[in-house]
Structure 1
Amino acid sequence: MSSDADVPGHLVNQARRLAAECFPDALSVVLAGSVASGRATTTSDLDIAVLIADGGETRRDTLRFEERVVELFIHTRAGLGELFAADAASRRGVMQHMYADGLVLRERDGAATRIKQHAEDALREGPGALAPATVESRRYALTDALDDLVDAADVVERLVVASVVLSTAADLLFDHRRAWTGSGKWLSRRLLQADPDHGGALLEGYRRLCEEGEPEDFADAAVEVLALMGGPIREGYARTWRDATEPAAR
């Protein structure tokens, strides 16, 4: 989590103005996302979590405030509990990270402080382990995708297959480290947090493939992740249709 000094003051002030204008009765307002983490750019939006009184509607709104896009995550206490549970089940911990890493703009009776503590505890505990059948299915999917990566002669096909290799290898590595996952830009950030060595090798190999067309380092990095999880699976892999936990590789 960044310190307050890392957060651009004009963006914090803008978020405070929005909170005062749009949510004067909120129980807490927390600024999160790239702005709170010190990664803001000139076009970064404001990600803001708003705790409202019971009886309100838990929802997500997008608006424009003072020419800046704002993503609002509005919730009651009960709604936040449901969001925490859903984010734990998805292994992404979106709301947990927003509160744990966010900057409190306003709160009543320590509401945001208590939620932040709860979120920090949940993040330290980490997500639960994937079911063994799910791990096996993803090992098979990664084995299959790596075969396709090596065989791909078409540049576009190779890049598409590489994205499958990256996401599947990342899922396995996150599970191995019992770490929270991410998507989009957060995938790379979470990978480096979870395992700087293996995650870094995956990302660097993927960069080389995309920029230079060289798949070898990327494939080697994915194979190393497979080795951590028991190695590739080809012959002998089987599953029933009814009990399948994952879609087929294709």
Structure 2
Amino acid sequence: MKILRLFIIKKVMGVWKINKIDPFKAAELFILRRYPNCHGAVLAGSVIRGEATETSDLDIVIFDKSLTKAYRESVIEFGWNIEVFVHNLSTYKDFFKSDCERARPSLPKMVSEGIVIKDTGIIQSIKQEANELLENGPEEWSAETIKVKRYFITDALDDFIGCTDRAEEVFIANTLAELSSEFVLRTNGKWIGTSKWMVRSLKNYDEIFAGKFVEAFDIFYRNGDKNKIIMMIDDILQPFGGRLFNGFSLGKD
């Protein structure tokens, strides 16, 4: 009954709604109810960065020495959508490693920026591991990897330039945005992202460039003008030899 009193229920346009309680209080109650014996927990995500929206959820990372394997679960409690990432004291290391290998350090970032909700003396060292990984950045691309990436960007760009079907153009543009943003970030030693994190990663690298990148694709999506995208991608590739097609080979002995 005490928990129920934390909700504010009101009627909006004929529909009864439950207002969300404070996210930190919700996280504390969630851990107390679901993981009372865990050894550590941090609250991460948009709410702790001050970027929460109406649809934001709570990202909670749990550390429990007694677990045999890691898992992820999504629930709704205390008025919040909650995504919980549960680890023991070795599984998180595997996730740290795989996240860094793909250059999208989701778990290290959550742990690094997360606010401690519960700690029995383990969180500081785990945060230090995460911070060191983030500061080191992703593994540098080899010359061969850059060559392969140039080829696939060129291939998509050629399709984009020659395409006259609006529906197909839209999805080729999506592919170009992903490939070209990855190329810019990785060749500059930066972490990458997907969806909203693509833009955030570009802004972390260079806000001016990120603005031009978004503008180029926005113009195309609004009026079909491809020129800014084409020029931008040529500028991105130019320092590495420009577009690549003739003479490219993959897997040949």
Q: Which residue of 2 aligns with 1:77?
A: 89
Q: Is the 8 A contact 1:149 1:158 kept in 2?
A: yes
Is contact 2:67-2:87 (8 Å) kept? no
Q: CA RMSD in A?
A: 1.8
Match of 2:32 in 1: 20
Instruction: Return the alpha-carbon distance in structure 2 between the equivalents of residues 9 and 177 of structure 1.
Output: 41
Aligned to 2:218: 207
1: distance between equivalents of 2:156 and 2:79? 44
TM-score, length-scaled by structure 2: 0.87
- Give the superposition deviation at 1:229: 3.0
The structure 2 residue matched to 1:171, chosen from 182, 186, 189, is 182
Q: Deviations over 1:43-62 (max 9, x none)?
A: 21111111111443311111
Q: 129, 134, 141: which is aligned to 1:118? A: 129
Q: How many residues align?
A: 234
Which whole-Å CA distance do the structure 2 matches of 1:226 and 1:79 have between them?
39
* Larger Rg over CA atoms: 2
Partner of residue 68, structure 2: 56
C-alpha distance in 2 between matches for 1:158 and 1:237:
25
Q: Which has the higher contact order (CA 8 A, sep 6+)?
A: 1
Q: Which residue of 1 aligns with 2:79?
A: 67
Which residue in 1 is equivalent to 2:173? Answer: 162
Matched, 1:233 2:234: no
Q: Distance in 2 between matches of 1:233 and 1:106?
A: 52
SS in 2 for 1:175: helix
Mapped partners of 1:122, 1:97: distance in 2:
9
3-state SS, counterpart of residue 71 of structure 1: strand
What secondary structure, in the 3-state scheme, does the structure 2 residue paired with 1:77 have?
coil
1:62-118 residue CA offsets vs partner (Å, 9 max, x unmatched):
111123221111001110011101101111011111011211111111x22221222
Q: Does 1:152 align with 2:153?
A: no
CA 57–66 in structure 1, closer or farther in 2 if over 3 Å, else same: same
The counterpart of 1:198, out of the listed 180, 203, 209, is 209
Distance in 2 separating the partners of 1:103 and 1:212: 44
Paired-residue identity, %: 26
TM-score, normalised via structure 1 length: 0.88
Q: 1:229 to 1:65 in 2, by over 3 A?
A: farther
Distance in structure 1 (CA, Å) of the matches to 2:49 and 2:229: 29
CA deviations 1:194-224 (Å, max 9, x no partner) are 2333333222211221123222112222221
Q: Which residue is 2:46 aligned to? A: 34
Q: Which of 124, 128, 135 is matched with 2:139 structurally? A: 128
Paired residues of 1:176 and 1:229 also in contact (CA < 8 A): no
